[in-house]
A = this chain, B = another copy of it.
Amino acid sequence: MKLGYLGPKGSYSYEAALSYQTHALHLGFKTFYEIIQSVEDGMIDIGILPIENSTEGAVNSVMDGLLRTSRAKITGELVLPIVHNLLGTDKSIEEIRYVYSHPQAIEQCREYFRINHPNMMLLSCESSATACVLAKEKGSGYGAISSKTAAEIYELDILGEAIQDNSFNQTRFVAISQEDEVITNQICKTSIAFSFHNDSPGSLYAVLKEFAVESINLTRIESRPAKAELGKYIFYIDLCGHQDDPEIRKVLSNIQRITNFFKIFGSYPVFTKQARF
C-alpha cells in the first residue's frame, strides 16, 4: 500500500501518515496538489491531507484542491495535537534572525514572535520539515518552526518549546482514496460542498433548514470564495451520519435540488482516540 503525505520526513503530515498506517510505503510529496493528483491518477492508494486547524482555520489550498477531484473520496479522518517548537543550531535563541516554516505553522505562532522576538523574520517554505533542512543547511542565525520528531530527525536543538499561540492547537487531517472504506457499525460523518446560482437572502438558510428539520448535527461549516466576484461563496459542511442513511439521503437530495453546484466528498468513520483512524 502506497501512502502519500506532505514531506519530507518529520513534517506533521508525516506523523499523521504514520499514525494512520504504520506498515505502508510512505511517500513524501512536495505539495498538496501532487498528493491529490496522485490519488486521482491511481499512483498512490491513500493521500493524507491537513484540512483544518483549530487556530488558523481551513487549509485553503486543500479545500480548493478537493473541489476538483473526480475519483478521490474522503475515506477517513484523524485529529492530531500540534505542538510547535523553535529549532536551530545556535546555542541561544537570541542568535536566530530568520525562521522558516510552512505558512500555516507561521500563522499559528505569530503572536509568540510578535511579543517575544519581533525582529525575527518569518519566511515561508513548503513544509515544517523542509524548514528544518534549510535551518540545518544555513546554520547559525537560522531557525525552523517544527515538531520534536523533526528536531530528532534533523539533529536540531529545541530553542523554544510549545511556542504555538493556542495551547489547544489541533489539526484535522483527512485520508483520501479511490476505494470506499468498509464501514461496520461505526459512527460516520459526511462532507459536502455547494454553491448557489444567485445568492439570495434565504439561500443558505434554506439548506440549513433541511438539516434542522431532520435534527442532523453539523460539525463544520466554512465558506470559501467561489473565485469569481466578491460575495460569491462555496460552502463546505460536515454533517453527522452516512450518505446512505435514508434520512441523510433524502436531505442531500433536497439540497442538491436547491443548489447550483453540489458535491459529496465522502462518508467516513468519525475519529476517536481509540480508533486508528
Partner of A230 from B52, B209, B221 at Cβ < 8 Å = B52
**Within A131-185, which residues are at the interface with B (CB < 8 Å)?**
166, 168, 170, 172
Residues of B within 8 A of A54 (CB): 225, 227-230
A211 touching B201, Cβ below 8 Å? yes
CB distance from A46 to the nearest CB of B (A): 22
**A209: nearest chain-B partner, CB-CB:** B205
Docked pose: A57 CA to B239 CA in angstroms: 23
Residue from the set A57, A170, A228 with the largest chain B CB neighbour count within 10 Å: A57
Chain A contact-residue range equals: 35 or more
* CA of A224 to CA of B209, assembled, Å: 22
CB distance from A104 to the nearest CB of B (A): 10
Partner-contacting stretch, out of A8-16, A21-29, A119-127, A257-265: A119-127
What's the nearest-Cβ distance from chain B to residue A138, in Å? 13
Residue A112, interface by CB 8 Å = no
Q: A107 near B220 (CB under 8 angstroms)?
A: no
**SS class, residues of chain A in contact with chain B:** mixed
Which residues of chain B are near A205, meaning CB under 8 Å?
205, 208-209, 211-212
When distances are taken between beta carbons in the complex, the residues of chain B under 8 Å from A215 are 201
Q: Mark interface residues in A28-49 (1 if CB within 8 Å of B CB, else 0).
A: 0001010000000000000000
Task: Compute how far the CA of A79 lies from the CA of B209 in the bound complex, rounded to whole angstroms.
Answer: 33
A225 touches B103 (CB 8 A): no
Q: Which of B123, B172, B208, B231 contacts A204 (CB 8 A)?
A: B208
Q: Is the CB of B57 within 8 A of A60?
A: yes
Cα separation A238 to B20 with both chains bound (whole Å)? 40
Q: Does A62 sit at the interface, judged by CB under 8 A?
A: no
Q: Chain B residue with minimal CB distance to A238?
A: B231
Distance between A39 CB and nearest chain B CB, rounded to angstroms: 17
Q: Flag whether A56 is at the interface (Cβ < 8 A).
A: yes
- Structural contact, A223 and B225, CB atoms closer than 8 A: no
Which residues of the partner chain B approach A208 to less than 8 Å between Cβ atoms?
202, 204-205, 208
Other than A54-B228, A61-B107, give 17 A-B pairs with Cβ distance below 8 A.
A53-B225, A56-B60, A57-B224, A61-B110, A103-B107, A122-B124, A123-B123, A168-B227, A168-B228, A170-B230, A201-B211, A202-B208, A208-B208, A209-B209, A220-B230, A220-B233, A221-B223
